[in-house]
Amino acid sequence: MMTSRSGKPSPLPRRALLGSALGGAAAAALPGTAHAEQPPPADTSPVTGPGEGPWKLHDTMTTDAAWDRFLHGQDLLWSRLPTLWYEGPFLGDGQLGSMIYQEPGSQQIRFTVQHGRVQDHRPEFGSGWGTCRLPVGHLTLEPVGTITAVNWRLSLWNAELTGTVTTTAGTLTLSALVHDEVLAVRARAAGGERVVWTFRPEEALSPRRISEAPPAGYTVNPPWTTRTTADGTEQVLQALTGGQTATAYRRAGDDLLLSVGHSSPSTTAAETESLRTLRRAGSYAALRRRHLRWWHAFYRKSFVSFPDQRLQSFHWIQLYKVASASRAGGPVMATSGPWLEPTPWPAVWWNLNVQLEYWLIHGSNHPELDALATTLRQNQEQLIANVPAAHRADSSGVGRSSDMFADRAVGRPGTGAETGDLTWALHNVWLSYRHSMDESLLRDTIYPVLRRAINYYLHFLTPGGDGRLHLPSTLSPEYPVVPPQDTNYDLALIRWGCRTLIESAERLGVDDELTPRWQEVLAKLAPYPVDANGFMIGADTPYAVSHRHYSHLLMVYPLYLVNWDQPENRDLITRSVAHWHALTGAHRGYSYTGAASLYAMTGDGDTAISYLRKFFDPTTRYPCRPNTHYTEAGPVIETPLSASQSLHDMFCQSWGGVIRVFPAVPTAWADVTLHDFRTQGAFLVSAVREAGATRFVRIRSLAGEPLRLRHGFTGRVTAVLDDGSPARTHDLGDGTLGIDLPKGREVLVHSGSRPDLVIAPVAVGEPGAAWGLP
């Protein structure tokens, strides 16, 4: 039972605003930190005198021409025909996705047609077979002659593929885009060529068949059927147990438009939906106008530029990719995004994949892409149903992998089960809240769901002879040995969850009957198991086998419960990360992106970039692919997206209630521009680094949260509000400045005379080839 401060019952669905950095609550009480809850008395006189005058950034990225010119330099290019999915162009709108490459064994070009909502509906066969993503089909463009060359460009600014196909018979000119769940393609023929399109449905069978046989009792879905409507639209209808998929397409002159509908539990609604979507699209030209408006507004929300051409291009491609793969309210990204190829992973994975997929949306200022938060909000009943029946009154959870509705039972602690994945996913939602200060995220999702997720743990914590609370055996994701108790993965998540709930309840004005229990857990929970090499996997289980996952280091990153602002923990952090990578053999792409972010937290940008570059090294076993996608036995989208977050961590960090500007920029990158980079506390940060030194920082407050800035300036610091008046500041020590900044206001911070306040791309210092097959 929870009550408000007035003593009246306070129902769970009504929540108020949480307005402080929970991640910094623990660090605030530790010596050596720069963000105490109550700053010591300080001189609050302004650090600058009058005479600065009003100021304004000169943003050179305000016109379509400027954006077109800049992003043109980041585009993917092809001068030869891609033969594999991870070589070719890719299109998407968060639901419908298409990849373009050579049809295997033929002189044709395949446009895959896949959809994030198309799945099976037989949970009795598990997420790999019963509720897995299902294939839809593909279009083939079938030239008359033999293909001799291609000249393609995937325009990021327009999110459109354009180019030519040269054959022994002539030339085909094509363009393609995906918008509003419609794939639109336009093709014109010259010479002796002609335009021939064929849609080829694919069997509605789990892509997991490449790695294992179907489970016992599994029967294949019935074959598809086809029909032609009165207006000449072709339809392919795929019946499913408890659902239907329908693909509709039609040609009009040079254009072909295609839409996919999916319904469940209705076995007929998809065919109506696909026709309605196709009619709404109109024509290629009409759809393209709406498409361009969306994408041009999307890019303008933030800007980053740095001198490494290939990595800069990679970063902008990841923004294009994540916007092609996810939109709030749509399906949460599966491991392959909206695209689907033969894979052992045709589902949503909750023990790392989904978390890494969504990190980069925060700093890049794109909350509109957050399908993870909406998925957890919309499927709370399923999260309850996932725990054993005995605990459904107060608990929630999710198993390792599920469909887009989070339908997967979670195991019990004490059986070696993986139990913490929902709590980690909720940390992502908390990051969304902290970056937006959107009250609804706290009220409708974080507090009620996290309360139940932590409750599930509480049922299994038991006191030991040492007076500590211990957790029976659980799995540290992907580590081959199950500790007898006290897995670090779960201990970190329990600590984060209890601290977050206590702070949330206080800010919400809610008297939660569980608050004393959460406090007791924090006081008595077993310490993290540690040995001479650093953090162990769990009690009596050292990290002794090469491990691609950093599940045993979660308290360091991304939770920051143990962090570099705690001098007493620096040696432990250093030993732990070094030992993690010292045992080789199992490391994969996200092992390198994770290490890059961990070293960025320490301020070591040169080591961070050295690990990140391992992901791009073609001599490694699993490098980044030519179109920036990634594969481990099948498509796995999270690793390239997490590489962009590693770059974010080098440029700007905001954990623990402190904004750190340029905390770990590699030495070689003397010039960096950030504009409207979003941080925790709902601040928009703009900053310019020139010749290895920060020139200025501008911060806009969207929510009126406390502002603590670690700026990196030397000498006397000037802080001026947007009306030219001096800002009230507080020296918090350790190079951190507290600044009084009301909601809606901006502050300019610099050292010495006022610099030129210009937001512009930086000069390329490290040239690199375009992505694709240039």
In a domain, 752, yes or no: no
Distance between CA atoms of residues 725 and 709, nearest Å: 19
In a domain, 155, yes or no: yes
pLDDT in tens, 225-237: 999 999 999 999 9
Mean confidence (pLDDT) of the chain: 93
What range does the domain containing 162 cover?
73-277
pLDDT in tens, 428-444: 999 999 999 998 899 88
Residue 704 burial class via C-beta count within 10 angstroms: exposed 0-12, middle 13-18, buried 19 and up? middle
Top pLDDT among 141 and 31 is at 141
The whole-number pLDDT of residue 508 equals: 87
In a domain, 218, yes or no: yes
The whole-number pLDDT of residue 52 equals: 61
In a domain, 630, yes or no: no
In terms of DSSP bridges, do strands 96-102 and 109-115 run parallel, antiparallel, or are they unpaired?
Answer: antiparallel
pLDDT in tens, 252-299: 999 999 999 999 999 999 999 999 999 999 999 999 999 999 999 999
The whole-number pLDDT of residue 439 equals: 87
Distance between CA atoms of residues 421 and 427, nearest Å: 10
pLDDT at 452 over 70: yes
Task: Report yes or no: 557 and 535 within 8 Å, Cβ to Cβ.
Answer: no
pLDDT at 35 over 90: no
In a domain, 690, yes or no: no
Going by pLDDT thresholds of 50, 70 and 90, the confidence category of residue 642 is: very high
593 Rama class: left (phi>0) / alpha (psi -120 to 50) / beta: alpha
Task: Please give the backbone phi and psi of residue 203, each rounded to the nearest 5 degrees, phi first.
Answer: -60, 135
In a domain, 508, yes or no: no
pLDDT at 485 over 90: yes
DSSP structural state of residue 426: H
pLDDT in tens, 60-89: 999 999 999 999 999 999 999 999 999 999
pLDDT in tens, 495-520: 999 999 999 998 888 999 999 999 99
Contacts of 181 (CB under 8 A, 6+ apart): 93, 95, 96, 115, 259, 260, 277
pLDDT at 18 over 90: no
Q: Which amino acid is at 402?
A: S
pLDDT at 402 over 90: yes
Going by pLDDT thresholds of 50, 70 and 90, the confidence category of residue 34 is: very low
Going by pLDDT thresholds of 50, 70 and 90, the confidence category of residue 54 is: confident
Q: How is the beta sheet containing 707-710 ordered, strand by strand? A: 652-653, 659-661, 707-710, 736-739, 729-733
In a domain, 676, yes or no: no
Reported for 458-463, long-range contacts at CB under 8 A and 24+ positions apart, including other chains, are: 458/517, 458/521, 459/391, 459/395, 460/412, 460/413, 460/414, 461/494, 461/521, 461/525, 463/524
Task: Please give the backbone phi and psi of residue 521, each rounded to the nearest 5 degrees, phi first.
Answer: -60, -45
Count: domains in the chain: 1
The whole-number pLDDT of residue 662 equals: 98
pLDDT in tens, 155-180: 999 999 999 999 999 999 999 999 99
Top pLDDT among 691 and 45 is at 691
The whole-number pLDDT of residue 11 equals: 35
DSSP structural state of residue 463: E
DSSP structural state of residue 282: -
Distance between CA atoms of residues 530 and 283, nearest Å: 62
Contacts of 8 (CB under 8 A, 6+ apart): none
- What mean pLDDT do residues 302-312 have? 98
The whole-number pLDDT of residue 443 equals: 85
Buried b (16+ CB within 10 A) or exposed e, 585-619: eebbbbbbbbbbbbbbbbebbebbbebbebbbeee
The whole-number pLDDT of residue 78 equals: 98
In a domain, 654, yes or no: no
The CATH number of whichever domain residue 96 belongs to comes to 2.70.98.50
DSSP-derived 3-state class of residue 497: helix
Instruction: Quote the pTM value.
Output: 0.93
Going by pLDDT thresholds of 50, 70 and 90, the confidence category of residue 96 is: very high
- What mean pLDDT do residues 360-382 have? 98
Going by pLDDT thresholds of 50, 70 and 90, the confidence category of residue 7 is: very low
